[in-house]
Amino acid sequence: MPEDNMDKPNIVTCTAPVNIAVIKYWGKRNEELILPINSSLSVTLHQDQLKTTTTVATSRSFQEDKIWLNGKEEDITHPRLQSCLREIRRLARKRRNDRGTAVDSTCLSHKVHICSVNNFPTAAGLASSAAGFACLVYSLARVFGVEGELSGIARQGSGSACRSMYGGFVQWIMGQQDDGKDSLAQQVEPETHWPELRILVLVASAERKPIGSTSGMQTSVQTSCLLKYRAESVVPGRMVEMTEAVRRKDFPAFAELAMKDSNQFHATCLDTYPPIFYLNSVSHQVINLVHCYNRHYGETRVAYTFDAGPNAVIFTLQQHVTEFVQVVQHFFPPEINGGQFIKGLQVNHADLSEELKQNIGLEQMPKGISYIISTTAGPGPCVVEDPTQHLLGSDGLPKKTV
């Protein structure tokens, strides 16, 4: 191999999805290994609407590991980044030792440059760290030629990142071992399993950033006796129920359990001392709206779930999307016009009956919701083959467009 080729970086670009839990993860039994106190189950959102893109480059000429997030260089020594880098390099080394020289062994000693961007604003309050660490681990594995189970490494970057390693419906099995080797994500059903399922992210106009989930769940584990009870005695049964609801595509069962589990998670936040509030008045009103809407029809057509922030994620079926979006627009009259209010998958316009509006009977909250992202369940991480999409140039530095 000529010298100049040896200096040219080895570049890989991948994308990874956001996921939204319907059985919630809250609380670690081991902070360092990120081992949860209960299993959880999520839906992977489609990357057409929400994704992280990460380029990883290795080169003999790089002096040190470096990372750029959303255009800004960040501290590579962050312990969770270091965990992922260390684990991937360890697996690559193991693979090399197991298989002889099948892998380009020089690459292992090279430093990496990492560049990552989200196609959605951080303001959306979506768990970007899950997509981010999933994408990082997936990209690093590609560049270092590591294959097989990677969710255990993604987990060490950000707990819920392990669920973003698969598409569709994914469970994170808490595991029992102290070393965390059995705390892994598994696909329950692929994204093709339930094509009628639609997802709406209602981005609330949040006043201020809520308390971070890492410190929040630490305080909850230390102070909430309801969280302990939930993890030990409630979640195991709910995991079985939710898995079954997904397998059967039983929307009412899926929807009701998702709502109950979201509420119980926020209940444990309130039982934390000092209490943590992630739901604000807009969230409360979305919850009321969903229950009033379902009550109007006498069946569960729509469900909400909330993570560690005020934004609702709505689940519904294809045939109800148009009307429900119109209901949201009616009760949360937007600041911006209708076209920009709905991003992502197209939603048609519908006229609402006066009867429906009156039956719901809530007060309007103008500007309570900034915009809606309309999406579906989607696939897991992917490799981007088109080299023009790399975020790092052949000099190993972020391209100007980033």
| Residues near a copy of itself (CB under 8 A) | 207-208, 225-226, 229-230, 233-234, 256, 259-260, 263-264, 266-268, 270-275, 277, 280-281, 284, 287, 291, 363
Enumerate the H helices of 271-394 as residue ranges: 281-297, 318-331, 338-341, 354-360
> Considering the complex, what minimum distance in angstroms separates the CB of residue 401 from a copy of itself?
38
* Closest CB to a copy of itself among residues 270, 356: 270
The residue among 197, 129, 119 whose CA lies nearest residue 163 is 129
* Closest CB to a copy of itself among residues 106, 277: 277
* Closest CB to a copy of itself among residues 226, 350: 226
> Considering the complex, what minimum distance in angstroms separates the CB of residue 371 from a copy of itself?
22
* Closest CB to a copy of itself among residues 273, 297: 273
> Considering the complex, what minimum distance in angstroms separates the CB of residue 41 from a copy of itself?
18
The residue among 342, 335, 381, 373 whose CA lies nearest residue 56 is 381
Report CA 261 to chain centroid distance, whole Å.
17
Which residue do the tokens 């909850």 mark?
220
Neighbours of 258 (CB within 10 A): 26
Which residue do the tokens 């209010």 mark?
341
> Considering the complex, what minimum distance in angstroms separates the CB of residue 290 from a copy of itself?
9
* Closest CB to a copy of itself among residues 363, 386: 363
Q: HSE on the CB side for 278, CA within 13 Å? A: 25
Cβ within 8 Å of residue 78, ≥6 positions away: none
* Closest CB to a copy of itself among residues 272, 311: 272
The residue among 214, 211, 204 whose CA lies nearest residue 328 is 204
* Closest CB to a copy of itself among residues 234, 397: 234
CA end-to-end span of the chain? 32
Residue 203 in contact with residue 372, Cβ under 8 Å?
Answer: yes
Phi and psi at 90, nearest 5°, equal -65, -45
> Considering the complex, what minimum distance in angstroms separates the CB of residue 254 from a copy of itself?
15
> Considering the complex, what minimum distance in angstroms separates the CB of residue 307 from a copy of itself?
15
The residue among 343, 344, 347 whose CA lies nearest residue 318 is 347
> Considering the complex, what minimum distance in angstroms separates the CB of residue 284 from a copy of itself?
5
